[in-house]
Amino acid sequence: MLQKSITYKSLIRLMGIALVLLSVYCFCSVTLNHTESIANGVTIYSGPEIGESVPRALLDVVWLRGGYYGSIFLWGGTLTYLGIGLLLIGMSTMNPKVAYWTLQASIWLISINLWYQYGGVVSAGSIVPFLMTPETLWPWMIIALVASFSLLVAYIPVTRLLRRFLLLSPHAEISTESISKKSAG
């Protein structure tokens, strides 16, 4: 009889792809949202938000929390989903160097998203000229800097740990046959 099984690698990759697709959906739902600009009772612009102002649309993407997308995802935002999805896809490659760099990228994506969501007052040019940013780097960007620098300093031990973790059980599978036997017995 044929044994049907799904590897952990495939499950992790599918979850990563699903989260990346969710972040693309969140990005599109915010940027293509219909908006109107009215001045003195006259409609100046009516259409997708990204057509009016690209910087404003991008700020709305990083500001918006997960509750906007539905009651299932109440935390995080577009960059959070993208960061976790990229991390899962990087882990599913079973390559320690790819996993390390996707870990670095996910730390930065999640931190940038949290920085905008919980960073306080946003103003133009407060930290980066010509860019709307929160007025302080504390705590989210400082945490990202410390975590990223710590991972960089410990590059060799971290990649060795990832190699052991990823290659611990390369043939790990979830057998649908064993699951059905456990539920029946």
Instruction: Give CA–CA dist 105/96, Å, rounded.
Output: 14
First to last CA, the chain: 20
Instruction: Give CA–CA dist 105/140, Å, rounded.
Output: 15
Please give the model's pTM, rounded to 2 decimal places. 0.75
Q: Confidence band (pLDDT; 50, 70, 90) for 178? A: very low
Is residue 14 over pLDDT 70? yes
Q: What is the pLDDT of residues 83-98, one digit of tens each?
A: 999 999 999 999 999 9
Non-local (6+) Cβ contacts of 32 within 8 A are 48, 49, 50
